[in-house]
Amino acid sequence: MPTNRDTVPAYDGPLRVPVEPAQGGWYTDAERAALRLVFDASDNWRSGWRFAEYAAAFEEQFAAYCGAAHARVFNSGGSALEMVLRALDLQPGDEVISCGINFVAPHLAVINQGGRLILAEPDPLTLNLDPADTEARMGLRTRAILLTHWNGAVADVARFEELAAAHPHPVHGPPKIIVDAARACGGRSPSGARVGAQGWATVFSFESKKLMTTLGHGGMVTTGDDALAEKLHALRTYGGRDQWGTNQVLSKPACAVGLVQLARLDTMNTARIERAQQRTTALADIPQLTMPPQLDGSRHLYYRHMILVPDAWADEGRNELMHALASRYGVGSIISDPVTYLGHDFIRRHTIGQHLPRAERLAGRLLCPCLHPRMENADEDLVRHAIRSATADVTRSRTTTT
């Protein structure tokens, strides 16, 4: 079976705009000052790099920002997902439902914690998990719904809480709503609640490409569940005194930088939204392309600017467009992301027999040209010009060959 990975055109020429930004937000003298302070206070045999105070401050301010009762900091979003899934204590046969178009991390965590991963179809416009298809796949073994706010488009968490309440597990009650907000830090739900305020647990990532970053790696979980907060604290610091645990806390310099980034998160998100909306408006008249949805308020943070090509272009035409963008205009773009079972063999081996026609078709139409709030206007103009011209090129080549 051909996978998305096999069919993505390899481009080795020098790109004028990379396939994606290596850093999500930006850094200032405030981060440098915070780092210097930490360094000077820590390079000392009496104090060292003890993190507790900084971690507690970062957690407290992050929880307050989200409107969540608790926050627990981790060394990555991946570790945090793993520990939240572990806290579910999945038994053989227990099922977790998640959208097929996704990053691999949430799916790998479900499988590693012994859950049966049940894949569901995306909404055709936002590519967020489709509530109707989710409900169709719920049953007596459903323990959790793992909801990813896809590429910055904030999903309606309350809708999934309703579904969970309507389909309780016979022993554990309503399935838990676990939110992967790695790409939606600072967003708001349709009700106006901050991402992180709803659901059983919300997982964030501060990896280099994310909307706020902590020197390359970092993660956080918010929750309103006191017991979960305590459990996560124990899991990431060797189990407290009475259970299994490991070491997954975030370092002191990273926490110090996180505090500064958090204070600037809204500014960085606003700049990103503005750039994305301007691009959407500038390209809205290209009939072949579907631009990302415009959602009210900060309901779409445009972690990536997702474009869909016509259905008839799925896979082949999309690949042609990506190739044209790169080879003729030097503009990189990325498929964000393939259906996980097509892009990752381990996930495929654990989801044998599952097939998502809608997700596969949509992923075949998807491409995300590079977007960053700090791109120079000349770079932005180049990207827009390239998308317009390359789409015309592909349209021409597809009408002459068919």
Q: In the numeric block, which tokens belong to residue 236?
A: 């990431």
The secondary structure of 88-112 as a DSSP string is T---TT-EEEEESBS-HHHHHHHHH
CB of 121 to ligand PLP, least distance (A): 17
d(C-alpha 83, C-alpha 244), whole Å = 11
205 binds ligand PLP (CB under 6 A): yes
Q: Is 219 in the site for ligand PLP (CB under 6 A)?
A: yes
- x/- map, 111-150, ligand PLP, by CB under 6 A: -------------------------------------x--
106 is a site residue for ligand PLP (CB under 6 A): yes
Which residue, 147 or 283, is less far from ligand PLP as judged by CB? 147
Question: Smaller CB distance to ligand PLP: residue 175 or 219?
Answer: 219
Shortest Å, Cβ 336 to ligand PLP:
9
Nearer to ligand PLP, 265 or 282 (CB): 265
Does the footprint of ligand PLP cover residue 82 (CB under 6 A)? no
Q: How far is CA 254 from the centre of its chain?
A: 20
> DSSP character for 152?
G
Q: Which of 105, 127 has the CB closer to ligand PLP?
A: 105
Q: CA-to-CA distance for 351 and 115, rounded, in angstroms?
A: 11
| Closer residue to ligand PLP (CB): 83 or 283 | 83
Size of the site for ligand PLP (CB under 6 A): 13
Q: Which stretch binds ligand PLP (CB under 6 A): 56-64, 72-80, 244-252, 280-288?
A: 72-80
Among positions 158-197, residues that touch ligand PLP (CB under 6 A) are: 180, 182-183
Side-chain-facing half-sphere of 70: CA atoms under 13 Å: 17
What phi and psi values does residue 223 have, to the nearest 5 degrees? -160, 155
Complex with ligand PLP: residue 176 or 183, whichever CB lies closer? 183
Residue that is written with structure tokens 């993505």 in the block: 8
Q: Which residues contact 29 (CB under 8 A, 6 or more apart)?
A: none
Regarding 78 and contact with ligand PLP (CB under 6 A), the answer is yes
Minimal distance, residue 152 CB to ligand PLP, in Å: 10
Please name which of 317, 295, 3 lies closest in space to residue 125, comparing C-alpha atoms: 295
For residue 16, the one-letter residue type is R
Task: Give the shortest CB-172-to-ligand PLP separation in angstroms.
Answer: 24
Alpha-carbon distance of 360 to 352, in angstroms, equals 15
Helices (H) and strands (E) in the chain, counts: 14, 10
Instruction: Using only the alpha carbons of the chain, give its radius of gyration.
Output: 21
Distance of CA 281 to the CA centre of its chain: 24
Residue closer to ligand PLP by CB (options 156, 380) is: 156
Nearer to ligand PLP, 156 or 320 (CB): 156
Q: Which two tokens stand for residue 87?
A: 């806290």
Q: What's the closest the beta carbon of residue 326 comes to ligand PLP, in angstroms?
A: 23
Q: Which one of 44-52, 70-78, 269-277, 372-380 is the stretch in contact with ligand PLP (CB under 6 A)?
A: 70-78
C-beta of 108 vs 314, nearer to ligand PLP? 108
- Pseudo-torsion of CA 351, 357, 360, 364, nearest 10°? 170
One of 161, 207, 320, 360 touching ligand PLP (CB under 6 A): 207
Binding mask 268-287 for ligand PLP (x = CB under 6 A): --------------------
Sorted by sequence, the CB contacts under 8 Å of residue 281 that are 6+ apart come out as none
For ligand PLP, which is the closer residue by CB, 133 or 180?
180
Interstrand relation of 307-308 and 366-369 (parallel, antiparallel or unpaired): antiparallel
In this structure, how many other beta carbons lie within 10 angstroms of the beta carbon of residue 311? 12
Asked whether the bond before 345 is cis by omega within 30 degrees of 0, the reply is no
Interacting residue with ligand PLP among 24, 55, 73, 76 (CB under 6 A): 76
The site for ligand PLP (CB under 6 A) is made up of 76-78, 103, 105-106, 148, 180, 182-183, 205, 207, 219
